[in-house]
Structure formats: structure tokens, C-alpha cells
Structure 1
Amino acid sequence: MQFKVSTESIITLASDCIILTHTEDKDMLLGLAQQVDEQMDHRISQLIAEKEIKGTYGEVTLLHTWGKIPAKRVLVLGLGKEEKLTIDRARNAYAIAARKAQSIGVRELAVVVSQKYKAIWNPVDLGQAVVEAIQLGTYTFNYKTKEKPQQKIERILVTVDGISVKAVEAGVERGIIFAESQNLARDLGNTPANKMTPSLLADKAKEVAKKHRLEINILDKKQIQELNMGAFLAVSKGSDEEPKLIVMKYFGAPEYKDVIGFVGKGITFDSGGIQIKPDKDMDEMKGDMAGAAAVLGAMNAIGSLEPHANIIAVIPSCENMVSGHAIHPGDIVETFSGKTVEIKHTDAEGRLILADAISYAKHLGVTKIVDVATLTGSVISALGHHMTGIFSNDPDWAKEVKTAANLSGEKVWELPIDDDYEELVESEIADLKNDAGFGAGAIQGAMFLKAFAGDTPWAHLDIAGTSWLSETKGVNIKGATGAMTRSLIALAIRFGGN
């Protein structure tokens, strides 16, 4: 998909389709939309007057221009009530319009970025949001061989009216990188487990590192054993696929002492272990490495954008399978940190591999940590599929992570990890236990990880509800979403600015 920023009037553009917007609380078109309407003999305003076009959020009306203007078609996109309009809602609305355009075979799409909203939105952010909307909203993934490939949008003309062209160009360039990186995370999350083993995930990481000249080190089973990562190894024991510990490094600010650690859960398939999961929707467990996917997507963008920051990514990757070698409930394992853990439930495996990964990230010298993981079904009970749960041991660091998420349009909600919850992870025979049964499940997982973060500022992002959707909505396509990829990228950029 090619993007071009132009100052050419949308009235003269000979594109396959142009997108115009209309808000629910306006009785008439404004600005460039009004000019197009005049050229089309007021056909759009007539439909508005007759309430066939209402401007409700996500409403898309397709009109042919019949030669009145060079563009072949016009899509009138409803943005809802103007007072409710945010850049995130605009991003999701443009994604809906882009999907409609793609479905009718549009090859070249024109979008206006005008002065209408420059008082409330930075033109860089607006240009970025439009690009993200189109690239994320038209994403596809499948292995079909007989179905005729869908015609995809090939070119996007971003026409600028009354605002800085350079600012919009900067936003477009950034948006391309953000969206491509999130789509990379989606590809990884959608790929079935037989085609995305720990070794193959490590190969993908090598591709990203080679492309951007990032330092990378892939630790194999023997090296993981030498590090005494007993929790990580315990989870991997039931599988014939060997575990991999992926470490990637980017140092764009060598004079800084601060180093952010991105830690991503990389369970490429989760059967639940001996305490096996129900069969319903178990196929979706190929996406249990969505945290790792988000981290890899972020590192891809960081390699392109080269922010003034230092990042170390640590991805523990393995399968959680059932076999004669699998861990048992009641087993005791020793972690890289030296702490011992009693295994109370084999399907509480993500926190085990993250425990060793977080400790290892600290060993490598990170000063702040963000871990991303499809950790608990309980977070879905609390927040559904609209928000990611965030937990943190440091209010200032939590604020930084939440700000980055807000800037990216990825919603998060902070949940508590007060000392009162420590009893949930206390074991009678080990330092910790990995499960306490029913009640405060998402908090249990976070409290377990907190014990390994120690005094290092740390934030845990539980994306179990946001990493996979059963229906297409806004920029998110059914399946893997690539959740928190853009937030991690924004965090690296913001951190560099500090």
C-alpha cells in the first residue's frame, strides 16, 4: 500500500473513491465536502435533508459521481456527534470506511486531512491516525487457496487543506511504521501453532533484528538450563518443541542510564498442561504468544524510528503441552531469581515463564519493565474485550505507560495490587505458589509477577481480553489484534523525550 501526501484539491483528484465526513449534529456539509456537494448538484445535501444520510457514527453511504467530479465514487462517512469525537473514534470510523472501499474494489482512495479539526488535534497525530485506520482496518489473514484473492487498496492519496504538509507527512510516515508493526504482531498471533513454534518465532525475531541491525541473542534449552530457569523449563517440559529465550537490544541513547525492558509472554500453544483446558475455542490458544508478538512488533518499529531510548526485549517462548514429561500440580521449581515456586495449577503457566524472564531482564540491566501477556481469563470478567488491565508497583511508571496507551488509542484500566493480596501467592512449602483458586484471578497473576519485579519500576499489561476478538470492530479485525504494540512504540518514543 502506497501513501502520497498532496495539496491538490479533492475536487480535481481522479481517484477511484474519496472519503468525505459528516457529523450527526450538522444539518449541512462544510468545507471541502460542501464543495464536492456543489459539483454533484447538491445530491449529498439532499440525502442529508431527507435523512438518508444521518451522520451517525460508522455510517457509510456510497455515491457514484457520474462524471460530476473526476473521482468515480464518494463515501460519506458518519462521525457521530461532534462533541463525542476523539481521534481514536475518528481512527476507528475511517477504518470502517476503508473496509467498505476495499470491498467494492477501490484501488486508489483519497482522504482529506483538513484544518477543520486542527484546533483540537495535532496534524501529525491526525495524519498518523488516518494511515493507521486504513492499514489496520483493511488487514487480512488466511491460508485459502481456491478463493479468489480480494482486491486490495493499493494507493492512498492524503490531501492536505489548510494545515502543514510537512506535519501531515511526518504523521503519515509514522503511521505506516506503527500500522505495519501492529500488523506484524497480528500475523504472528494469527499463525497456527504448527507454523509458529518457539524456534520459528525465534527465526522471526532474527528477521526483525537483521532488518534493523538490532543486537539479538537466542538462548537454547541447554543455555536456559545453565541459567537455572526452572520455572520456564518446567512449562516447556511437556512439549517436544524446545524452548527459546529471545533477547533483543536497541541502544539509541547510550549516554542514558535508564533502559526499558519489554517482556512478552511467548506461549506458542497452550493446552493447559495436565490440567487441560476445555475443548471450546482451544484453537485460539495459538494466540497465547500475543505478548511476544506485541514486543516483536514494537521492536520492528523501534528499529525503524530509532528513538532516543534504550530498550531490551526479553521473550520466553515455549509450548504448554500434555505428556509424560509435563509438570504436575504440586511440583516445586526453582527460578532464575532463586525463589522457589509450588505449582498449584499447570494452566497458570504464563506467570512462570515471565517470572524467569523478568528476573533475567533485571540481570541484563533494565531499570524499568513492562511485561505484556495473555495472562488470565479473569481480566476478561473484569474488563471485557475493550480494555487491557494494567498493574504496577510504581505510580509514576504506571502513569507513563497509561499515557503512551492513551496516545495510541489503546484503552487500559489500572487494577490494584495492594499488600493485602500477597496472601494469594503465599505457599506453605515454597516461597510462592502460582495459583490460589477462584477469586481475584487477574490480581493473583500480577501479584506473582510483582514478587520477581522487586523494587524495579514495573507495569504488567494483561491482554487476555484485548489480544483476540471474535468480530471485526473499528481498526480491529476478527482474530489477533496486535494489542499494545502501538503503546509500546509510543512508550519508547516518549521515554526518549524525557
Structure 2
Amino acid sequence: MTVRFTYGVRSEANQSLDAIIRFVSREELEQGEADQPIVQPQIDEALRSLFAKGLFKADAEQVKVIATLGLYPAAHIIFVGYEQGVTATGLRLAAAAAAKSLKQLQAQSVHLLLPELLIKDAAAGLGIEHAAQALTEGLLLALHVRQPLKREQSERFELKDVALVPQGDAAAASDASAWEHGIAKGLLYAEGVKLARDLTNLPGNDLTPERLAYHAEELAREHDLEIEVIDEWSAADQRMGGLLAVGQGSVNPPRMIVIHYKGDPNSNETWGLIGKGITFDTGGISLKRAEGMQEMISDMGGAAAVLGAIRVIAELKPAVNVIAVIPTAENMPSDRAFKPGDVLTMMSGHTVEVVNTDAEGRLVLADGLTTAITRGATKLVDVATLTGAVLVALGSEATGAVTNNDALFKQVHDASERAGERIWQLPAYSEFKKKIKSDAADLKNSGGRYGGTITGGLFIGHFAEGLPWVHLDIAGTSWLESSRGWEPKGATGVMVRTLVELIVHQE
């Protein structure tokens, strides 16, 4: 099903609406009777009565659904609290709260009323286009939840028809194009996130490295992108020792996926986006505990984010060059699996002592960075569900970052601010690098428990060859135990929108 999003009231005769969404602030309700109605006099009176009794406080994301009983040409009105001085995150959250009520009502044909004050705040602050994009993303992403695989398959609830409808005199005709452009961007960004979520939610017996490569090939074919899929034999020819070691314990061989987007052939600058694609992680010989291991289907969340971002980038066609690299493998214990104490020779020629086979993501990413560099990348961003330590440090509230270049990190951070995806930079002191020095090789693949997110990131950064580089550890943000805001339980598709903002909006 394809949802139709538009701006302004449409001219269809006898238009039937399932619901109306109206954002309302505490200040608006405290004014009492106002010159401009909220929706309709009797319904407004009922809402103010609920406010006076403390039953609806118009707090951010608070929702009150009122049946219109024939007083308005829609079955229900969904009032959502929001704070004046709107932000993109506030609008996404308000739209997401409304979307969850729409699902409960099974309301598919909807008007979202835009109060005059909200329009003025948006125009003066974040901008109309960004506001429209945020509202669109919030509505769509909150409804896109994991689709269970059942014998009696049910369809995922989706909206059919949504119009953003201005109220009052602030909706000048000149704003229409900005609203429409923002809606179009929101639709594209949401599709990229949906792709990432759906890939990450696939079970491990379905999404093997070969199958992930198949999905990448389908994406490349759809958008006319150049793609390389390097199999285990070609990987051996190119001396990808990290990728091959991690994948050698599984019957499902590894792949190195490389997608080229050439938006500016005359430029010598090329972004390298590298996404960790461990399709299932048992920990290998350093076996994980059984409890919660089923969630290790999400260990390719970085790969999913990169693929989702490339889809949006290919649609928007910015004048930049991007190389997307996805090292993908399945980390399994077997008689062929790599072992603690092994010394690997990486694609870069550096040697690595394996001290923990559950620190495998950094090994495949090391070869991923080298692959991107050999194909012309000049600045690097890797995205990975790398460490449990980032959960200890930041919980599921923020993505951890390690970098060798503050200017590049500022670009990434600014992109994350626009996307509403929190990133927190961790220190990269030289003392941490000492923890991954080895007596048996150039490096060892784990520096121990303390500072684990930092040492894991710095291991990857060793293979950046001095190029500007940012590592994003999404182990805490790519998968949730319960839904929040516009992010569902399970895969969140985090960092898709940040990566797109980074590539598309060059400051």
C-alpha cells in the first residue's frame, strides 16, 4: 500500500475522514475562549473541560481521543499535547503519538490540522520544510513495526491518505511548496528507515551473508548503482584476513559488498560508509550466553543503516560520491572456526592477535575500511553494533562515537541533530591505544572490559590510514526492548537519517 501525503485541503466531493489530528498546547487551553476555534465550539468546550479537571494537561505527547458524534466531518479527533517553540524532535514525537492512536482507531484517512501558532513557530525556527519532514517521518515511522512470520499472515497497519491542513491566516500560498518538499523528503527518509528495520528484523536462517548480498544487489539494480559482491575466493585473493577468519566457522561463507554512488565524477572527494554486517553472532569459540542470543540477528544493524541510507541518497541524487561497503559474515563455533590465540593478517597487511572471537565486528570492519580506501574513499564513517560496553555507558539513549578528526565529527553530529538521533563523542586518548597493543602481532582485537567501546573503536580507526574517520557504535540504539516515540520494539533503523543528512546536506 502506498500512502498519499498532501498539503492543504483537497477538493474531492463528499470527502470521508476517519480522524482528525490537532496539536494543542497548554498555553492555548489556558487562554479560555479564543477568537480562533481549536476545532469546533462544542468539541472545544469538551476539551477545555477536560483540561480544567486535569484529565488532559496538553503535556508533550499526551493524547486525548474524542468522538465527534456527528459534530464534525470525521469520526474522531485526536488531540496531542505539544510545547510551543516547536523543534523537529518535538514534532516527530507528537506525530508518533498521534499515529499510535490512529492505529488503535484503524483510521486510514486523516487530516492533520496545523494551528496558526505552530506554523509561525516553525517558520521562525526550524523552517517549514524541516517541520513538514519531521511530521511525515513521525507519522510513518511510528507505525512501521516488526511483521511477525505466521501461518495466518496479517497485514501491517498503514495509512492511506494524509493531508496536512493549515488553520488561520498564517498559511500563505508561498509556503505550500516548502510543505510539499518537506513531505516528499519525509516520505523518502521513512522508506530508507523501513528498509533498514525490515532487514534487521529478518531471522538469521533467512538473512545469511549471501542473502544480504542479494538484497544489496536488488537495491543496486533498482537504482542503477554499480555493485561488487566479493565472495570468499575473491576475498582470499585480496587478502581479507579479518573477514575470512570471522566467516570461516560457518557453512554460510562471508561476502564483501561494495556499492558505488557517483554523483560528482569530477570530484576527488568520496565518502566511505562502512556498515557492520554480521548476520548472526554466536560469539564463535568465545561463545555468548544463551539468554538474549536471539537478538543477535540485529548484529547487521550497521549494514542495514548503510543500505537504507544509500537507497535515499540514490533517490535524492546529491552531487557527491559515496562508496558503501558492507563486510558481512556469520560468526559461528565449529571445527573450522577461528580461535583465541590465532594471528590474522588483515587486508591492510597489519597483523592482529585474536584474544576474543566475540570481538569479531572490528575485524570485518577493518577489512571494510581498507576496501573503501582502496576504492577511493577520502573520509570514512563506520556504523556498527560493536560493543555491549556502549550500553553500559549510554544505555539505549545515544549512539557512542569515536573519531580521529573533530571537524568530521562535527559534521556527523550536526547531521544527527537534524535527524533527531543522539550521538555522544567518547574520548580517544592515546592511553586507550596502549590497551590494544599485542606481544604477538601489531594489534590485539580486544583491550578488555574497561573503556571497551573506546578501544574497540580505536582498533577500527587504526585501519583508517590517517584519513578523517568517525566510528558510530549503535549497539544500544539499533534494537529496543520496548517502543518509544517513533522507534518500535525491535529494529529501529537508527543512523539511516543521520547518514543521509550527512551526505545530502553539505554545510
Whether TM exceeds 0.5 here: the answer is yes
1:227-272 superposed Cα distances (whole Å, 9 cap, x missing partner):
0011111100110001111000101111221100000000000000
Partner of 1:263: 274
- Is 2:63 aligned against 1:57? no
Q: Which residue of 1 aligns with 2:139?
A: 134
1:70–1:31 Cα change, 3 Å: farther
Aligned equivalent of 2:390? 379
Q: 1:41 to 1:331 in 2, by over 3 A?
A: closer
- What amino acid maps onto 2:134 in structure 1? A
Which deviates more from structure 2 when the two are superposed, residues 290-299 or residues 428-437? 428-437
Q: Does 1:23 align with 2:29?
A: no
Q: CA deviation at 1:103?
A: 1.6
Provide the secondary structure at the position in 2 that maps to 1:456: coil
Residue 344 of structure 1: which of 336, 352, 355 is its match?
355
- Report the 3-state secondary structure (helix = DSSP H, G, I; strand = E; otherwise coil) of the residue aligned with 1:66: coil
Deviation at 1:159, TM superposition (A): 1.6
Q: Secondary structure at the match of 1:16?
A: strand
Aligned pair partner of 1:122 in 111, 115, 127: 127
Given that 1:20 and 1:33 are in contact with CA atoms closer than 8 Å, whether structure 2 keeps it comes out as no
Superposed displacement of residue 153, structure 1? 2.2
Extract unaligned runs of 5+ from structure 2.
Answer: none
Superimposed CA distance per residue, residues 3-35 of structure 1 (whole angstroms, 9 cap, x where no aligned partner): 33232299x974111111122344147989824
| Residue correspondence of structure 1 range 24-103 to structure 2 within 5 A | 24-26=26-28, 27-28=30-31, 34-38=37-41, 40=43, 42-79=45-82, 81-82=83-84, 85-103=86-104
CA distance in 2, matches of 1:144, 1:441: 39
* Contact 2:38-2:44 within 8 A present in 1 as well: no
Which sits farther off after the overlay, 142-151 or 104-113? 142-151
State the alpha-carbon separation in 2 of the partners of residues 436 and 456 from structure 1. Answer: 23
Matching residue of 2:235: 224
- 1:148 is displaced (CA, Å) by 4.9
Could you tell me which residue of structure 1 aligns to residue 485 of structure 2? 474
- Match for residue 155 of structure 1 among 161, 164, 188: 161
Deviates further, 214-223 or 48-57: 48-57
- Equivalent residue number for residue 356 of structure 1: 367
The one-letter code matched in structure 1 to 2:100 is R
Shift in CA distance, 71/453, structure 1 to aligned 2, threshold 3 Å: same
1:214-253 maps to which residues of 2 (within 5 A)?
A: 214-253=225-264
Report the counterpart of residue 377 of structure 2 in structure 1.
366
| Amino acid in structure 1 at the alignment position of 2:136 | V
Deviates more, 1:168-177 or 1:88-97: 88-97
Whole-angstrom distance in 2 between the partners of 1:382 and 1:130: 31
Partner of 2:111: 110
* Structure 1 portions without partners, runs of 5+: none
TM-score by length of 1: 0.95
Q: Percent same amino acid at aligned positions?
A: 38
RMSD of aligned C-alpha atoms? 1.9
Aligned ranges 1:475-494 → 2 under 5 Å: 475-494=486-505
Equivalent residue, structure 1, for 2:223: 212
Instruction: State TM-score, norm by structure 2.
Output: 0.94
Q: Which residue of 1 aligns with 2:459?
A: 448
String of CA shifts for 1:137-195, please: whole Å, max 9, x gaps: 00122112336546432211122351511001000100001001001000011000011
Corresponding residue pairs, total = 493
Letter in 1 for 2:490: G
User: What are the Cα deviations for residues 48-103 of structure 1, in whole angstroms up to 9, with x where unaligned?
Assistant: 22322111122111111122121221000012x436x5221220221121011112
Q: Distance in 2 between matches of 1:46 and 1:37?
A: 14
Question: Which letter maps to 2:22?
Answer: L
**Alpha-carbon distance in 1 for matches of 2:252, 2:153:** 33
- Aligned partner of residue 267 in structure 1, secondary structure: strand
Q: What amino acid does structure 2 have at the position aligned with 1:7?
A: G
Matches for 1:329-340 after TM superposition, within 5 Å: 329-340=340-351
Displacement, 1:41? 6.1
Shift in alpha-carbon separation, 1:148–1:489, aligned structure 2, 3 A: closer
Paired residue type of 1:461: L
